Structure 1
Amino acid sequence: MSVVGRYLKKHTEALVKDVGVEQACLVTGKSKATLGRYYSDHDEHADRFMPIEAVALLEKAASYPHVTGALAELSGSSLQYDERRPNRERPGGVNADVIALSQRFAMLMGEYQQSMEDGKITVSEAKRLLKETTLLQQVLIDMKLHLENDHGGA
């Protein structure tokens, strides 16, 4: 088995154990044996990997996106993990997103106005602006997901 394969299987196992084997079976509709094959390092299971839909379902239930994190690392990327888990179902849908978007944009503009009082943006001010920009981006992602869910990606 390749180094990449072993690495992905190790993180698949971490994902299943994070959720709990019994719960992982319920979430994915897979048996314990099938889930075990996805992270087994035995030669007969070397070419078996968890389907991406099962990974997505488990990562939604897990405390951390283990497999997605591993894939990011393998590609030389990194994840910015948002512990607030905003993409889970929450009341309000698009209407709540529009309100959150307005509030977040107001926060960004407030930070910008405060940063520009002396005519230049310092490193610490830039960090605050970047943080606000990232939070604004997350609201847009939430809104996109709600629109796709409510309207089928129209």
Structure 2
Amino acid sequence: MNSYLKKHTEALVKDVGIEAACRLTGKSKATLGRYYSEADEHSDRYIPVDAVAALEAAASYPHVTSALAELKGATISLDQSPSNSKSGGINSDVIALSQRFAMLMAEYNQSIEDGVISINEAKRLLRETVALQKVLIEMKLHLEDEAI
């Protein structure tokens, strides 16, 4: 759990940008770095919830909130207008879903070609997985709209 939260904290800070993260939280680069450092001396340091809220408001995705939900076995649904909600509905979602899944599988195939998934390959797989998750959330919102 420790490593998982630290990695998502790092993703959040990098999503916003380190300089912007410093401005938004009032924390220094060094302090923010300690929050996601996996070094033994920082193992008990976590980013405060008010800093998470400020950063996630500016981020493209709620990295830490999502990680906490996943650790609990829950999922979150973003309450934003999905990018494809204005056109196509479910049919567009199914097409986007199949395209994203194909991209994930292509990335996976390329990553395991040598039998080892490197850090950079894992990051690319993670990005594709998050993109796939976003399409699924859009699809869920469309289905909920149609069910009402």
TM-score tier after normalising by the smaller chain length = 0.5 to 0.7
CA RMSD of the aligned region, Å? 2.2
Q: Which deviations, in whole Å up to 9, do the C-alpha atoms of 1:79-105 show, x marking residues without a partner?
A: 1123449xxxxxxxxxxxxxxxxxxxx
**Residue 58 in structure 1 maps to residue 55 in structure 2:** yes
1:22 aligns with one of 19, 23, 32: 19
Q: What is the aligned length? A: 90
In percent, how many aligned pairs have the same letter?
64
**Residue 67 in structure 1 maps to residue 64 in structure 2:** yes
2:144 aligns with one of 89, 110, 130: 130
Gaps of 5+ in 2: 83-140
Question: Residues 62, 45 of structure 1: CA spacing in aligned structure 2 closer, same or farther, 3 A cutoff?
Answer: same
Gaps of 5+ in 1: 86-126, 135-154
Q: Give structure 1 regions of 4+ aligned residues with deviation exceeding 4 angstroms.
A: none
In structure 2, what is the Cα distance between the partners aligned to 1:47 and 1:35? 14
Pair member with larger Rg: 1
Match for residue 97 of structure 1? none
In structure 2, what is the Cα distance between the partners aligned to 1:129 and 1:37? 42
Q: TM-score, normalised by structure 2?
A: 0.56
SS in structure 2 at match of 1:64: coil
